[in-house]
Chain A
């Protein structure tokens, strides 16, 4: 009985993992789904909205696109719009970003001495979004007790749900 429940749980977890890894391959992004953390892209996106990204190399970076990028040395990804690009013949590109809701471009956010972003800084391009849903992950991050409650409930659900 217990063995069955444990293997059932294991199957759910590994299916979820497979779907996630599959998404990573299909979209080309290491983080195909991100949660919007700040209000710098309002009124388009709000804190808690969920973004779906792709990061295909064949898709060139062009102005107007919404990119999710990381600044070297920082973990938190930023979601802003491309304001300026300069691309060389060989495809090397440097670009500048700005949040819709910010008065100035992002140069102040970049690393000291860094004036441009490059392809390597990009996590992905926002292709679609769903509002509000990501607020759960923000809550789990800000209120650890909530996270434990969610995990506890999930575990309970799996154990209780029997074929």
Chain B
């Protein structure tokens, strides 16, 4: 984790987090293997991995680290290893340093051919603790 100037946002230094992750998911079978998520009315799933945490500045922060569009017909099994986040994990301030409780969850938005657009959160989640110090070396 580094403390870096976010050039796209407000001109103050904010914490930038670096996370690598593995995702294994079997979207075809629901929680009990009974639900079929990809039924005739499902056009695509918009999957996203988000990090949720609290800081001194903000009671709730959510940052999408990675997303993927899975169309009906695509391979419903995900087996991704050593992924780097697609989007910069900038905090609004310096709340990542020493933050022990960052929860990563995989969720998805079901996009039907027509009808309701539900957001579903996967049942598994992972806790990621950030160290107390900043990295000075370019290890990313």
> Among A44, A83, A105, A130, which residue has its beta carbon within 8 angstroms of that of B111?
A44
- B42-65 contacts to A, CB under 8 A, are 43-44, 46, 48, 50, 57-64
Size band of the B side of the interface? 20 to 34
Interface flag for A37 (CB, 8 Å): no
CB-based contact B62/A85 at 8 Å: yes
Given A44-B44, A44-B111, the answer on whether A89 and B117 have CB atoms closer than 8 Å is no
Interface flag for B115 (CB, 8 Å): yes
Interface flag for A20 (CB, 8 Å): no
Interface flag for B8 (CB, 8 Å): yes
Shortest distance from the beta carbon of A101 to any chain B beta carbon, whole Å: 9
Shortest distance from the beta carbon of B120 to any chain A beta carbon, whole Å: 10
Interface flag for B33 (CB, 8 Å): no
Interface flag for A56 (CB, 8 Å): no
CB-based contact A107/B9 at 8 Å: yes
CB-based contact B50/A64 at 8 Å: yes
- A67-87 contacts to B, CB under 8 A, are 81, 83-87
**Binary CB contact string for chain B from 1 to 35 against chain A (1 if under 8 A, 0 otherwise):** 00000001110000000000000000000000000
| 9 pairs from A and B in contact (CB 8 Å cutoff) | A63-B50, A66-B117, A83-B63, A83-B87, A85-B60, A107-B9, A115-B8, A115-B10, A127-B117
List 14 additional A-B contacts (Cβ < 8 Å) besides A87-B59, A131-B113. Answer: A43-B43, A44-B46, A44-B111, A62-B62, A63-B64, A64-B48, A64-B50, A64-B109, A66-B109, A83-B63, A83-B64, A86-B60, A87-B61, A131-B114
